[in-house]
Amino acid sequence: MNLAVKLRRNLRRLVILLATFCMVSVIVSAYYLYTGSAQELDLTDHGVGPDCAELRVLPFRPAELKMPKPMDPSRKDPVVLVFVESQYSQLGQDIIAILESNQFRYQAEIAPGKGDIPPLTHKGRGRYALVIYENVLKYVGMDAWNRDLLDKYCVEYSVGLIAFHRASENSQPTMHLKGFPLTLQTNVPLCDCCVNPRSPLLYVTRAEVDRGPLPGDDWTVFQSNHSTYEPVLLARSRLSADDANGRMVTGLQATVVQDLGLYDGVQRVLFGQGLGYWLHRLILVDAIAYLTGKKLSRSLERYILVDIDDIFVGKKGTRMKVDDVKALLETQNMLRTQISNFTFNLGFSGKFFHTGTQEENDGDDLLLKYVNEFWWFPHMWSHMQPHLFHNESSLMEQMILNKDFALEHGIPVDMGYAVAPHHSGVYPVHMQLYEAWKRAWGIRVTSTEEYPHLKPARYRKGFIHNHIMVRCCHVRPVAYSHTPSSTRNILEAQKSWTRASKEESFS
Ligand SMILES: [Zn+2]
């Protein structure tokens, strides 16, 4: 009897122990599960802000990202084949402008209705490193023969494809992209665009949020359950519940998707609008870089020089005062927190020193007190345009006056850089200017925005003439108003060099 009771008690203890063990293990697993997913969420949200916190509840399969096959940049020419709608279509021109600005080679073709395409290979080598369709419907609507030819070329030569969908008033509200597991919702108004931080193609673009409504109400958003699609840009739908088409397009929607090539072996990037939105332009640059294995990409390094012309020049009442000079230095210090050693480059015309009101003359004095804080370059003694001087000796005279002024006020004279007022005499070349610059100042570098033409800006180039390097620049008039009472129009021009283009030599 005793034995039976003991046995029953032990059995009860064993059951309680087992139950407790089960409970503990459930709690422990739940804890680890929870913390694990929380960490994952943190990673997703990092740097993206609360607006992109819904990345995990996308209209996409929330699976872990499968890495696409790296693009192989070999066996083809670094040329982009662009299919435009017409010679004058806006988006086609925007795409070409981006290719030209980056100095990428391209061949533009009018996208034919049926889909005839130019020869893609020559002697076993690919002619194109990337294909861009202004209109994705032209691509999916090609006849089977040409489509097969193009897709096979893309797979065999590791060539990617970029295409755009632009909705019109006549677009169906919901449509399936022919031949792909992808649904398009058209004419969706959007706001608060965020960049998917885990998108493999990010290069120039940072994973941040651009708050506010996106331009236009004609956005196309992409939806899919296939793991080949990874959103690149996402924005919140502004479609109200009483949408005329009765659609439920809520939450974050993808306006740009990357096809990782898991569906048919071709890697693509699809845009749900044109290039009117600035982030689409950045993403296009990144997509080109990514899909060509960086063959068509530019270095991330940028050199920026900000010239401020016409120091001391200006009518009374429009010149820099003490507060303006202080603001200039403060701005430089602020920029230095972002760009190491950033220094404004001041172009001076000595003749006009102390020709303002008392307050403005005090500004001149303070500027010279800070002389070592800035860089300086000569901008002609009396702001005369050099091409008006026909003989070199009178040009020299003007330059020497400015140089004497510089020496007298401790302004450095050995920077080797000068800018002519209005870039006069730089191009078309005024030979006397180049000679006088070298003799008076030892100038080695100048700038212009005129070579070979002022417009379009993306065609501007630099060149070397008579051993002086002429770099291309962009002039922006700036109204400078740090304090309400301060002078405006003092910073007549701000110039930046983002890139020294191909240099050419005049003989
Ligand atoms: Zn000037």
Whether residue 112 contacts residue 162, with contact meaning beta carbons closer than 8 Å, is answered with: no
Distance 467 CA to ligand 1 centre (A): 24
Distance 334 CA to ligand 1 centre (A): 26
Cis bond upstream, residue 456 (ω within 30) = yes
Cβ proximity of 386 and 410 under 8 Å: no
Distance 439 CA to ligand 1 centre (A): 22
Q: How far is residue 74 CA from its own chain's centroid?
A: 26
The CA 330 to ligand 1 mean position distance, Å, reads: 23
**475 alpha carbon – ligand 1 mean position (Å):** 11
Q: What pLDDT, on the 0 to 100 scale, is given for residue 507?
A: 23
Helix (DSSP H) and strand (DSSP E) numbers for the chain: 9, 22
433-469 tens-digit pLDDT? 999 999 999 999 999 988 998 888 888 889 999 999 9
Please tell me the distance between residue 383's alpha carbon and the centre of ligand 1 in angstroms: 6
Cα radius of gyration (the chain): 32
Q: How far is ligand 1, taken at its centre, from the CA of residue 483, in Å? A: 23
- 10 Å CB burial of residue 447 (0-12, 13-18, 19+) is buried
Say how many Å lie between the CA of residue 489 and the centre of ligand 1: 12
Q: Which residues have CB under 8 Å from 64's CB, separation 6+?
A: none
Q: For residue 380, how far is its CA from the centre of ligand 1 (angstroms)? A: 9
pLDDT at residue 472, rounded to an integer: 85
What's the pLDDT at 36? 36
Cα 335 to ligand 1 centroid, rounded to whole Å: 24
C-alpha 396 to ligand 1 mean position (Å): 18
Q: Which residues surround ligand 1, an ion (CB under 5 A)?
A: 309-310, 421
Burial of 325 (0-12, 13-18, 19+ CB in 10 A): buried
**C-alpha neighbours within 13 Å on the C-beta side of residue 233:** 32
Q: What is the pLDDT of residues 67-108, one digit of tens each?
A: 888 898 889 999 999 999 999 999 999 999 999 999 999 999
Strand-pair category, 268-271 with 105-110:
unpaired
The confidence score (pLDDT) of residue 39 equals 32
Q: List alpha helices for 80-169, DSSP H.
A: 90-101, 136-140, 144-156
Instruction: Locate the DSSP E strands across 224-358.
Output: 229-237, 252-259, 268-271, 307-311, 345-348
Contact at 8 Å (CB) between 375 and 344? yes
Model pLDDT, residue 486:
31
Q: At residue 333, what are phi and psi to the nearest 5 degrees?
A: -65, -35
How are beta strands 345-348 and 375-378 bridged, if at all?
A: parallel
The upper half-sphere exposure of residue 464, i.e. CA atoms within 13 Å in the direction of its Cβ, equals: 8
The residue type of 184 is L
CA of 310 relative to ligand 1 center, distance in Å: 5
133-149 tens-digit pLDDT: 999 999 999 999 999 99
Q: Of the candidates 167, 284, 164, which has an alpha carbon nearest to the alpha carbon of residue 216?
A: 167
Distance CA 317, CA 320 (A): 9
Q: Distance from the CA of 402 to the center of ligand 1, in angstroms? A: 14
What is the whole-number distance in angstroms between the Cα of residue 347 and the centre of ligand 1?
Answer: 8
User: Tokens representing 504?
Assistant: 């050419």
Beta strand 219-223 pairing with 229-237: unpaired
Note the pTM of the prediction, 2 decimals: 0.75
Give the C-alpha separation, 329 to 335, whole Å. Answer: 10
Specify the residue for token string 């059951």. Answer: 15
Measured between alpha carbons, how far is 420 from 387 in angstroms, rounded to an integer? 9
The Cα-based distances of 274 to 62, 131, 138, 222 in angstroms read: 27, 16, 15, 15
Tokens of 474: 């962009």
What is the spatial distance between Cα 408 and Cα 96, in angstroms, rounded to a whole number? 52
- The rounded Å distance from CA 495 to ligand 1 centre is 12
Q: Give pLDDT < 50 ranges for the chain.
A: 1, 30-50, 479-507
H helix or E strand, kind and range, residue 130: strand 130-133
